[in-house]
Structure 1
Amino acid sequence: MLETPIPCLILDGGLGTTIEELDEQVTHHPLWSGKLLHDNPELLVDTHLRFLEAGADVIETATYQSCLPTFVRAGYEQEEAQASILSAITLAEEAIRRFEQSSGTHRRPLVALSLGPYGAQITQEYGGIYPPPYGPSIGANILPAPETSFASPEEEVLAELALTQWHFDRLLLFATSPSHWNSISYIAFETIPLLREGRAIRRAMTRLRPMAEARGLIWPKWWISFVFPEGKFPEVKTSGEPILPQDIANAMFDAEDERRNILIPDGIGANCTKLQFLKPIIIGYGEGLHRSSKGRPPELVLYPDGGYHYDTNEGAWQAPHLNRDGTERRADGVLEPWARSVARIGAWGAQMTYAGRPMWSALIVGGCCKTLPLDIAALKREYGNHVY
């Protein structure tokens, strides 16, 4: 069993893709797993419960693609849409209630509110190519800047402000219901493909906090998890140079932003990313932290995918070159199960230090698309009693 010098929590796996394993197709639906909030809530509770029984300490809500405009486009009236979205938290809580009742556990699992990027509405969470006002106009860039970057800083600021408003409006939907809001322990901003969207999320949370405090709401922890398709961040600089993990960490934990009272996240992570790319990402995050905030160490959040690739053109999951038993090839050529690889990488990252203290305050580790309850159960076994 692996030990970590910092607290470790097991996150659940791929909710939507696990639902599909149970023969309920959601990949092609605009609401993804949110489709079940109205059509089959009992299946959603059952899927949450499977992850809890597998050993998950944190389960994510079926809200990754949930925002009022998306539900309205799917045919819902506005009030019905709002009720359906909020019910995702209720259903996660119901799964926890059933789990506690059947298992007799003394440790209550936690709920994380899953919030995907703007790009999830337009199938661009892996590409980060956003239309105006969230991204540049087609053909407006000066080469070598690609479609993710702006020719001028002023245009990028305007796009960041537009994304701030979009994320704030979605957060407000949850914050207007105290009973639902106070049931969440984390907000998981995940699969973020753009640095300006990470900054926009921080601005949205900064704007929301005084409003939440005035209403007496409990302020949850929150993380921002970025996506690295094929190990590379989708956005590049205006010059055409890549944006590296250290650039991301430096931007998210900028000490100057702290002095301007812009909130910094409680955690930073990588999700929907192949596990063989995690180590360089973690190293880069650590280097970025060296140059930025010197406050409380953030939590490290890792939830790689199960090795499959989603072809946005075909709208289908492509099987990996490896067997479906979850094996991944390490640098030394040794094959080992997905869970063992993830656990080893997580334990390795948890050992990182800076100036004689731990680099991270906690480790949250789980799976993303195409990871099942059996994968999470195997991950839990790797850490054994050393999970806190």
Structure 2
Amino acid sequence: MPQTLLVDGGLSTQLESQGVDLTQHPQLWTAGLLLSDDGRKQLSTAHTHFIEAGSDIILTASYQVSPDVNQVCADFSVSLALAARDRIKGSSAKVYVSLGPWGATQADGSEYSGQYAEHVTRGFLKDWHTRRLELLLKNNWNNVDGLAFETIPSMLELRAIMEVLGNQAKPAWTTFSSPDGVHLCDGTPIVDAFALCDELTKADDYDRYFGLNCVHPDTINPFLDAILPLATVSRGSMAGITVYPNNGGTWDADERCWKDAAGGEAEGEGFSLLAREWRERVEAVGLSFMCGGCCSTDAKTIRKLKESLKNE
């Protein structure tokens, strides 16, 4: 039976709402907080806010962790999320490991362009993702519930990730950055990305989800227009669709901030009402629906989504 699951919001935005200055960690960004006791407390607080807001899935603070980060920090990125979940009585939230693209670790905004595909090879990316995943799961394989490959900008990186994911016996999603909902940032049609994911996961016994993240809300319906007919026909092993947009705007890599965002959910409904339509479209073809928020959204966003998507 199709189900609706609520993903958490933008970790960086929630931390900023707690008064954290992330510009102090230009390379690691949110993962930079793993380096200090105070930073880890702030991360724990952020995870707690998302769970209390109604998140069914929370993501670890590992989006910009590279294979070169020490094992202690890698373990903290996972254990903080697990501990936050376990502290809340009655919480059944699942913990997914956040796995950003290689470009996210370059701190130059290239996860929104995919231009680095001109400078790295598929083999390099496969090795990089393999080593990073081994680092994050070394002491937590049995504890985490799933994997979230996020903001993937290019077909080159997708091919590398699919080779890595094929060896992982965990539920997972692969979500993409996209300028329009129908192309990856490198120009690849989104339907080609879906076809590759669908074909390579047909033999899997674990739920695989496909979608977009950190995109303008206006791109979600064009994305569904393109993908849902294919998902209906192929079925494959795709369990559902995952979308967690931002509030609009563009990331300024030089100033390390979002420009021209529409504003937080506290100031209005944002995309929470649109999410009802997205869910109806996805569940109409028999697929499950995951929805949350990305950059420029926080725990208040998740509360709005929870209210909008609650079962009548």
Question: What TM-score do you get using the length of structure 2 for normalisation?
Answer: 0.89
Q: Which moved more, 1:375-384 or 1:22-31?
A: 22-31
2:190 matched to which residue of 1?
245
Matches within 5 A, 1:22-37: 22-27=18-23, 29-37=26-34
8 Å Cα contact 1:205-1:263 kept in structure 2: no
8 Å Cα contact 1:58-1:109 kept in structure 2: yes
8 Å Cα contact 1:203-1:262 kept in structure 2: no
For the structure 1 residues 126 and 265, does the alpha-carbon distance in structure 2 shift closer, same or farther, using more than 3 Å as the test? farther
1:126 matched to which residue of 2?
112
The code of the aligned residue for 1:253 comes to: D
CA distance in structure 2 between the partners assigned to 1:299 and 1:171 by the alignment: 23
Matches within 5 A, 1:196-211: 196-206=156-166, 208-209=167-168
8 Å Cα contact 1:38-1:84 kept in structure 2: yes
1:384 matched to which residue of 2?
310
1:149 matched to which residue of 2?
none
What is the CA distance between 1:52 and its match in structure 2? 0.6
What is the CA distance between 1:382 and its match in structure 2? 1.2
8 Å Cα contact 2:100-2:149 kept in structure 1: yes
What is the CA distance between 1:202 and its match in structure 2? 1.1
Alignment partner of 2:277 out of 344, 353, 376: 344
Matches within 5 A, 1:105-184: 105=90, 108-122=92-106, 123=108, 124-130=110-116, 134=120, 159-177=121-139, 180-184=140-144
CA distance in structure 2 between the partners assigned to 1:9 and 1:64 by the alignment: 21
What is the CA distance between 1:96 and its match in structure 2? 0.8
What is the CA distance between 1:294 and its match in structure 2? 4.2
2:237 matched to which residue of 1?
296
8 Å Cα contact 2:59-2:96 kept in structure 1: yes
Residue 292 (structure 2) pairs with residue 366 (structure 1): yes
CA distance in structure 1 between the partners assigned to 2:207 and 2:150 by the alignment: 12
2:77 matched to which residue of 1?
88
What is the CA distance between 1:128 and its match in structure 2? 0.4
What is the CA distance between 1:295 and its match in structure 2? 2.7
The code of the aligned residue for 2:217 comes to: L
Alignment partner of 2:86 out of 80, 92, 97: 97
8 Å Cα contact 2:247-2:263 kept in structure 1: no
Q: CA RMSD in A?
A: 2.4
| CA deviation string 1:227-284 (max 9, x = no partner) | 1135442113xxxxxx222121112112xx468x699971101000011110111221
SS of equivalent to 1:269: strand
Sequence identity (%): 28
Q: Which has the larger radius of gyration?
A: 1
What is the CA distance between 1:285 and its match in structure 2? 1.8
For the structure 1 residues 57 and 324, does the alpha-carbon distance in structure 2 shift closer, same or farther, using more than 3 Å as the test? closer
8 Å Cα contact 1:253-1:264 kept in structure 2: no
What is the CA distance between 1:326 and its match in structure 2? 6.6
SS of equivalent to 1:66: coil
CA distance in structure 2 between the partners assigned to 1:63 and 1:7 by the alignment: 27
SS of equivalent to 1:248: helix
8 Å Cα contact 2:201-2:237 kept in structure 1: no
For the structure 1 residues 348 and 113, does the alpha-carbon distance in structure 2 shift closer, same or farther, using more than 3 Å as the test? same
What is the CA distance between 1:314 and its match in structure 2? 3.2
1:233 matched to which residue of 2?
184
SS of equivalent to 1:130: helix
1:222 matched to which residue of 2?
172
CA distance in structure 1 between the partners assigned to 2:303 and 2:228 by the alignment: 29
Question: What TM-score do you get using the length of structure 1 for normalisation?
Answer: 0.73
What is the CA distance between 1:325 and its match in structure 2? 5.2
CA distance in structure 1 between the partners assigned to 2:94 and 2:165 by the alignment: 20
Residue 8 (structure 2) pairs with residue 12 (structure 1): yes
What is the CA distance between 1:327 and its match in structure 2? 7.4
1:137 matched to which residue of 2?
none
1:307 matched to which residue of 2?
248
For the structure 1 residues 84 and 380, does the alpha-carbon distance in structure 2 shift closer, same or farther, using more than 3 Å as the test? same
What is the CA distance between 1:98 and its match in structure 2? 1.8
